[in-house]
Chain A
Amino acid sequence: MIDDLVVNAALCMLMTAAAIWTVVTVRLLRAAIGLALTSALLTIVMYRFGSPLAAAFELSVCAGLISVIFVSAITLTSRLSSDRLNQRESEVLRRFWFLPLLVIIAGVILYKTSIPIEIIAFEGKTAAQDDVRSIIWNTRHLDLIGQIAILLAGAIGVVLLFKERKHG
């Protein structure tokens, strides 16, 4: 049986790798996939760490946000030739070689210094321990309506920004 710690550490590393990949790559499609991967891995990590509420929000809200980012990014850029793309990619890789190193160093420092947790807990159950399903369906009507509105906004955005403007 695999140790929990090992799984968590592996997931975190994967997520970091995906995040770095998203930042470094010059192809939009790959960046989009990287971001989605990061988001998905983060959701899993959150769920495993006992925070299903946050996991649910990560999935739903980031989905809306990501679509808008890519819409604007795609509209902003012009296509490069594939030679130019490859050249650019190696440039970027050379420029950002230190990124993984930085992440590892930061991890080591955080692990070594580990800030002591000294929360005087509220007497009784804290919000972090509640079940996400019961929260959403019983007490959070307002936020559900909000989520609907965000999705609607995202939909309008996609319709509006993707459509070619009428000329004349």
Chain B
Amino acid sequence: MDNECLLACAVGVPVAGAFLMPLVGRASKTVRNLLSLILITVPLGASIALIPTVLAGKTVYISAAMPLGFNISLAADGLAVFMAIVSSFISAVIALYSFDYIDHYENQDEYYLMIVLFLGSMMGICYSANLIPLYIFWELTALSSWRLIGFFREEHFVKRADKAFLTTVFGALLMLLGFIMIGQQAGSFELAVIRDKLAAEPVSAVAAGLVIAGILAKSATLPFHTWLPDAGVAPSPVTALLHAAVLVKIGVYAYARIFVATIAAGAFWDQAIPAIALASTLVSAGAALVETDIKRIIAYSTVSQIGFIFLGLSSGTELGVTGALLFILMHGIAKAGLFLSAGIIEQKTHVRDITKLGGLVKTMPVTAVSFLLCAFSVMGIPPFGGFFSKYMVITGALSGGRTALAIAFAACGFLTIVYLFRLFNAVFLKEAPSQEILVKEGSHTMVFSIAMLAVLSVAGGLLVSYPAEFGLEAVKQIMGLVK
């Protein structure tokens, strides 16, 4: 298969295949589950197959002409392939986990439809080379997360799903306005054309601000962060998918794609973004310290960690941006592990309040160890994967001349350690408040999934040079294009 075909498959197969789910689901559950896994691994395989071409410094590009410059263009460069591999891999693990988790609930067909559609649109966002398809896929992720968050159909769950949908669509509409302004200025929505045309004349601060508002809403950063903890009512694989691995990273990725690889955000936003990121990190770390709901703590932790990624991306140094890319990978793996562990605990004990939990290390040893390993990675303890990415981000900020910011973020890193230990202690170590909650491990598939993520968190640290080299190559490619 040639590269163009691979690229088209990476996006087209899951988006189109998603709608087969309800049909196949009527015939056989097993076939449907396997098919969903296949549909998710197709883009993973296609993206991996694209690696040699991309590492050679080439960009694969396909485009279908549409009126008004709304061309459906896809392009695979280092950044896109990196992001696509990370998100499709994590999604595949999560899909594997959900086979058992979701097995005894209603509306499974819809669940798999939305999961696959979500992953497909995520691939679309990664590979979009035009602002309009980027926006279209952006909205598709919003609508699938709306159905997924409201999966359990309880009234206040649906309300929170509505809130997430409204917040992200509000941001997306602002972003669409910003896109239109940029498109008017450059005379095209094609990213490559915009990059050439706007190299000399920067976009107005308003246009950049509108796009950034959309990005912040999606990545759940201050002031649009409240929907993310609320969305914790979703089934755990969904929260892992949305909060940890994929959805919130979309915002970060769009920032990298638009403001690192294509145009300059302008002096104002170069200063404002790290400040917003710091505020977001601090506020949510504080919230994570006092929350008692296990999923909300992890969700706030996500909001907090997203700030680090923004810090790296806005540092303007190769080291910082590479660190941010690594952070996306490491945090995605580790945070997915945390959420999926929380899912096992929630499903087995039916309790999410950490004051009513405790002592689970005795009955759930594998989960406990996996949880701890993933938590180490999120905390940034050497030699786990998270350590290197956090180190690179902060060093990148330092070498970009932002000493005060770097110190403030290092302090936030300390807060991360505190609240994750508090969580681990409360759930696994302290004495159990009652014997009833001491339950057995989850099913084999579920435990296997989280164990795999934990092992990867360790491996990511020990073998950090491979992803780091790839990330550096990708960063050189995009930063070289900007300068």
Q: Check A-B contact in the complex, CB < 8 A.
A: no
